[in-house]
């Protein structure tokens, strides 16, 4: 509406990228009965086999998660956490599962401050026992299996056990990330990254270099851990020898010891929460609510964009990028101020996605960049008064699954930063999830920050697993991505690309990224054979003419998207990582 008047007052550049797709770009995959999309071909194959054998989406997820924790350990695993949006076809209901890690009972709000009240620094916190939250993945797998599973647990984890014992080839992505972390160690000082001797021996050669891609990897301790879970359930992880060794690793960390106790592990519970759903041009978009900011922020961005007609724009154009960036600024301003674990802080969820509120936020968008946006004043109660604008990195993966019965699962799973906190226990890596908390409990004015550390609290996340329903209430799109706080933009853009621009899942993934987290507007460096053709220079020039501070960089999403059609399924997997589509 308003944008048509604005475009008359400013000259905008034409579309940067041609609507014709290059023939050498990845193409969408179609199946008839079921589909699974993950960030690794071995994980996809394991999930597809479970679906083919009559397993449910929940069954396939367990096979996928256990393989991912082995072959993509930098991103997720038993020592991490996850969020799930799940549609149960039999009951026609959508729910969300919160398996986010929790702070130990001994945690205090000054956790990441030194004796002088100053931050100990991100790297120092990341590579320490202080950063480890109580893991949620094993308890999540058990709950999903008990509630929605069909096949026996030992069959679901058998692929991961076979790979762990028989061996698998190290990927180039994992090898390069090991090398990148090793390069961050300071010569002449004790090794910080991969300081744990077990992890160091597993990921490096005898001369201390990263094992090269193609190395045959075996992880027998991981196989034994999975076998214990199959025999004894999740209690094998949260009590007994495995739990004791987790606590010993955390409290005996070679950099800074943590304070996790056996009672923290024994008391961990997964929480079922209501989804956060918004209307977007007649489609219902459902995501994860607090402690994730993903469902709210994706919903806000789409709700703001709903005030503008995008149909006349190219998907990668100055017009579309400008509007998307402004929506991102406004959503992140609210995210940073209002969102935290709603079990500890009142979060005005309904107010933040209220139609009238979002329309008022959309009205702030003009023909030029608005600069740093301020949080709005949504309806509803709020429990703190200081923002947490910290941008965190993430070691994360996303899984999308639809089974032959119509059950749909969107799961984002993580150990936080690459390789978690770098410590390996019983074949899996511990997370560094607690660095997602604000390092300072108050802002510069002394106001309490909603996302401050508190005992038993779950840190704010950007993970945005999403399921989109058509105007008849049927599952239409299952989507999500890894990527730290950029997850929000990646996921929102994937939905916009499909609904507004009519792209199939792979085209939506191939389309170059743009976005804004209430700072610079980021444009993606082109990747030959992976992203759409073109050079970001023209788009950059057009946005800078509108006042945008622009940065051009690599934007490594890992989108996994399924589109449900009348004839079956269309899937797309992100080749910025090692994504693969499977099913029949």
Which residues belong to the active site?
Answer: 396
Structure tokens at 26: 């990845």
Residue for token digits 């989109």? 468
Closest CA to 572 of 133, 166, 155, 31: 31
Closest CA to 538 of 508, 512, 560: 512
Q: Three-class SS of residue 579?
A: coil
Strand 550-553 with 216-217, pairing: unpaired
Strand 424-425 with 271-273, pairing: unpaired
CA dist., res. 136 & res. 6, Å (int):
48
Contact 159, 67 (CB under 8 A): yes
Largest CA distance in the chain: 69
CA dist., res. 135 & res. 430, Å (int):
8
CA dist., res. 336 & res. 320, Å (int):
24
Cα atoms in the 13 Å half-sphere on the side-chain side of 354: 14
- DSSP secondary structure string, 545-557? HTT--EEEE----
Q: Where are the alpha helices (DSSP H) in 186-261?
A: 197-203, 220-232, 235-238, 240-251
Residue 377 phi/psi, 5-degree rounding, is -125, 75
Sign of torsion over alpha carbons 50, 51, 54, 57: positive
Contact 127, 475 (CB under 8 A): no
User: For the chain, how big is the Rg over CA atoms in Å?
Assistant: 23
Give residues with Cβ within 8 angstroms of 123, minimum separation 6: 184, 192
CA dist., res. 423 & res. 195, Å (int):
8
Strands across the sheet containing 475-479: 29-31, 568-573, 560-565, 475-479, 466-469, 283-287, 276-280
Q: Where are the alpha helices (DSSP H) in 252-348?
A: 262-266, 294-305, 318-338
Q: How big is the chain, counted in residues?
A: 584
Contact 36, 53 (CB under 8 A): no
Q: Three-class SS of residue 416?
A: strand
Structure tokens at 562: 């399924």
CA dist., res. 123 & res. 109, Å (int):
18
Q: Could you tell me what percentage of the chain is helix, strand and coil, using 3-state DSSP and rounding each to the nearest 5?
A: 35, 20, 45
Structure tokens at 540: 């950059």
Closest CA to 300 of 348, 248, 371, 239: 348
């Amino acid at each position: 509406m308003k944008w048509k008047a604005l475009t008359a007052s400013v000259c905008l550049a034409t579309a940067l990228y041609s609507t014709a797709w290059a023939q050498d770009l990845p193409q969408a995959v179609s199946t008839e009965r079921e589909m699974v999309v993950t960030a690794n071909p071995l994980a996809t194959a394991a999930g597809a086999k479970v679906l083919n054998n009559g397993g449910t989406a929940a069954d396939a997820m367990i096979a996928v998660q256990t393989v991912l924790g082995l072959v993509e350990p930098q991103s997720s695993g038993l020592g991490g956490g996850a969020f799930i949006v799940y549609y149960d076809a039999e009951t026609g209901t959508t729910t969300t599962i919160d398996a986010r890690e929790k702070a130990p009972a001994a945690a205090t709000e000054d956790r990441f401050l030194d004796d002088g009240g100053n931050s100990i620094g991100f790297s120092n916190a990341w590579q320490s026992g202080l950063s480890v939250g109580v893991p949620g993945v094993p308890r999540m797998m058990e709950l999903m299996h008990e509630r929605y599973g069909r096949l026996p647990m030992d069959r679901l984890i058998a692929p991961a056990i076979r790979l762990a014992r028989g061996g698998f080839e190290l990927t180039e992505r994992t090898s390069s990330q090991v090398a990148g972390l090793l390069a961050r160690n300071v010569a002449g000082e004790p090794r910080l990254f991969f300081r744990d001797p077990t992890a160091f021996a597993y990921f490096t050669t005898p001369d201390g270099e990263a094992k090269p891609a193609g190395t045959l990897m075996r992880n027998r301790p991981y196989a034994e851990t999975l076998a214990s879970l199959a025999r004894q359930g999740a209690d094998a992880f949260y009590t007994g020898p495995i739990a004791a060794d987790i606590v010993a690793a955390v409290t005996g960390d070679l950099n800074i010891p943590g304070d996790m106790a056996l009672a923290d592990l024994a008391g961990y519970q997964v929480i079922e929460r209501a989804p956060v759903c918004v209307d977007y041009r007649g489609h219902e978009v459902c995501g994860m609510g607090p402690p994730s900011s993903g469902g709210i922020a994706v919903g806000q961005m789409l709700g703001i964009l709903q005030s503008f007609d995008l149909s006349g724009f190219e998907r990668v154009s100055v017009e579309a990028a400008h509007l998307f960036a402004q929506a991102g600024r406004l959503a992140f301003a609210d995210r940073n101020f209002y969102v935290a674990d709603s079990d500890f802080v009142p979060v005005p969820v309904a107010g933040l996605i209220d139609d009238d509120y979002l329309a008022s936020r959309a009205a702030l968008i003009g023909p030029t960049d608005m600069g740093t946006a301020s949080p709005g004043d949504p309806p509803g109660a709020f429990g703190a008064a200081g923002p947490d604008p910290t941008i965190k990195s993430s070691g994360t993966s996303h899984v999308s699954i639809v089974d032959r019965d119509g059950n749909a699962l969107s799961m984002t799973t993580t150990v936080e930063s690459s390789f978690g906190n770098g410590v390996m226990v019983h074949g899996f890596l511990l997370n560094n999830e607690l660095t997602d908390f604000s390092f300072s409990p108050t802002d510069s004015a002394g106001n309490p920050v909603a996302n401050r550390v508190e005992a038993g609290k779950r840190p704010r996340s950007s993970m945005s697993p999403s399921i989109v329903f058509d105007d008849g209430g049927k599952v239409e799109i299952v989507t999500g991505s890894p990527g730290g706080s950029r997850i929000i933009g990646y996921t929102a853009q994937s939905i916009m690309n499909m609904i507004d621009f009519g792209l199939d899942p792979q085209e939506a993934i191939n389309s170059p990224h743009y976005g804004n987290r209430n700072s610079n507007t980021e444009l993606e460096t082109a990747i030959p054979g992976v992203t759409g053709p073109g050079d970001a220079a023209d788009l950059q020039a057009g946005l800078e003419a509108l006042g945008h501070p622009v940065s051009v960089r690599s934007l490594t999403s890992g989108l996994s998207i399924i589109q449900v059609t009348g004839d079956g399924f269309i899937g797309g997997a992100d080749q910025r990582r090692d994504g693969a589509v499977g099913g029949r």
